[in-house]
Amino acid sequence: MRPPSPRQNRVVGWQSPRHSGAAVPHCNPGNTNQTAGFPMIKNQHDLTQAVLAVMQQTPDARLREIMVSLVTHLHGFVKDVKLTEDEFRTGTALIARMGQMTNDSHNEVVLMAGSLGVSSLVCLLNNGTAPDGGQKETTHNLLGPFWRMHSPRTVNGASIVRSPTPGAPMHVQARVLDTAGTPVADAEVDVWHCAPTGFYENQLEAKAEGQADMNLRGKFTTGAQGEFSFWSVKPIGYPIPTDGVVGQLLAAQRRHPMRPAHVHALILKPGYKTLISQVYADDDPNLATDAQFGVTQAVTGHFERHDTLPAARAAGEDAAAPWYSLDFTFHMEAGESRLPRAPIK
Ligand SMILES: [Fe+2]
């Protein structure tokens, strides 16, 4: 019989999911290696040292690193702003409220993370990694809440408008390259965006306005040069929800809730890290003030206006001018190909 592995043999009540690869177990109070006490606390400085000493006893190395840093910064923040007791109670109530507001169709915590720039920071820190470790520009971006699995397979060059939808026609011509500039052929590309009314088809408001199931969504396969293309209508910027804690923060800071117009993409191919991206319209008035801090230079696209119809579209029943064209290049990095979980049900 083989001896147990170090992981199996380790006495740990909690370990980082990143290292364990498993769901986080509940802490077992009888399963502890905390043997050393700490000196009697006499003041605030002793307190921080006592908490850090306990954090240092965390068996899992990654969890220990995270908790020591978290406590260092959290205690530093409290001391830095000289947090009052009233402010502490208000803050904990707001955090609790964010949890209470979160359900299958809304996540106030993620919305707050975006509103504080944390979501974009994690994205930029973990992508653009070859070879400079998060220092290069990247076409990775935020997933957002409205991605759905199983969007309809669509032929390159076809339209993803699946029910009458107002707005200016938009043609997207894109390609997928690796970090060396080599085309990524046979990649699966999901695209989705909101209607010019500001709603994605899986929002209740979109159903009320008559958008068909899977309207403005499509799944494409890149060609030999990494290319894919489609017709749609030009999306518009839309506000994030403001009926919760995030809305209170934006109001207190005199910030608008708008996200600039964008087209989402999720690109998959084995051997490459799944590319989750958004391409933002360079003519949007809120490009420089995105409420979620998602806009970066690498994912800003030029939506060129045309006042005469292309010959191939002149006879189409939904042909109209002006129309817009977007030419954009996505870059995939080497890594693991896996689908995210759909954010809402
Ligand atoms: Fe979006």
- What is the average per-residue pLDDT within 165-182? 94
Q: Are residues 265 and 305 in the same domain?
A: yes
pLDDT at 30 over 90: no
Query: 14 pLDDT exceeds 80?
Result: no
What average pLDDT does the chain have?
87
Has residue 335 got a pLDDT over 50? yes
Alpha carbon 95 to chain centroid distance? 20
Beta carbons of 192 and 264 less than 8 angstroms apart: yes
| 132 CA distance to ligand 1 middle (Å) | 29
189 and 303 co-located in one domain: yes
Q: Is the pLDDT of residue 291 over 90?
A: yes
CB-proximal residues (5 Å) to ion ligand 1? 144
Residues 41-51 pLDDT 10s = 999 999 999 99
How many Å lie between the centroid of ligand 1 and the Cα of residue 252? Answer: 24
CA of 89 to the centre of ligand 1 (A): 34
Q: Are residues 152 and 199 in the same domain?
A: yes
Check residues 307 and 132 and name the one with the higher pLDDT: 307
- Which of 117, 219, 103, 93 has its CA nearest to residue 160? 219
User: Domain for residue 8, yes or no?
Assistant: no
Compute, in angstroms, the gap from residue 65 CA to the centroid of ligand 1.
34
Residue 293, in any domain of the structure: yes
Q: Write down the pLDDT at residue 1.
A: 36
Q: Is the pLDDT of residue 292 over 60?
A: yes
137 and 270 belong to one structural domain: yes
Residues 258 and 187 grouped into a single domain: yes
pLDDT band (50, 70, 90) for residue 308: confident
207 and 165 in one domain? yes
Burial class (CB in 10 A: 0-12, 13-18, 19+), 180: exposed
**Is residue 119 one of the residues assigned to a domain?**
yes
Domain membership of residue 103 (yes or no) is: no
pLDDT at 3: 39
Q: Does the structure show a pLDDT above 70 at 217? A: yes
Find the 142 Cα to ligand 1 centroid distance in Å. Answer: 9
Check whether residue 78 and residue 121 sit in a common domain: no
Q: Tell me the CA distances in angstroms from 271 to 12, 184, 207, 275, one per residue in order.
A: 34, 11, 38, 12
Q: Does 118 lie in the same domain as 77?
A: no
Residue 308 lies in a domain: yes
CA of residue 337 to ligand 1 center, whole Å: 22
Q: Which residues constitute the domain of residue 182?
A: 113-332
**Domain end call among 65, 83, 101:** 83
> Do residue 205 and residue 325 come from a single domain?
yes
Q: Residue 24 pLDDT more than 80?
A: no
Within-domain flag for 9 = no
Q: What is the pLDDT of residues 63-81, one digit of tens each?
A: 999 999 999 999 999 999 9
> Is 214 within a domain?
yes
- What's the rounded mean pLDDT across residues 162-171? 93
Rounded distance from Cα 144 to ligand 1 centre (Å): 6
pLDDT grade for 117, boundaries at 50, 70 and 90 = very high
Ligand 1 centroid to residue 3 C-alpha, Å: 51
Task: Please give the distance, rounded to the nearest whole angstrom, from the Cα atom of residue 95 to the centre of ligand 1.
Answer: 25
Instruction: Say yes or no: 175 and 306 in one domain.
Output: yes
Strands 169-178 and 323-332: parallel
31 falls within a domain: no
How many angstroms is it from 33 CA to the middle of ligand 1? 46
> What's the predicted TM-score (pTM) here?
0.85
Say which CATH number the domain at 128 has: 2.60.130.10
Does residue 70 sit in the same domain as residue 210?
no
Name the domain count of the chain. 2
Is residue 128 very low, low, confident or very high in pLDDT (cuts 50, 70, 90)?
confident
**One domain for residues 216 and 150:** yes
Going from the Cα of 86 to the center of ligand 1, the distance in angstroms, rounded, reads 37
Of 194, 190, 192, 175, the C-alpha closest to 220 is: 190
Distance from residue 10's CA to the centre of ligand 1 (Å): 44
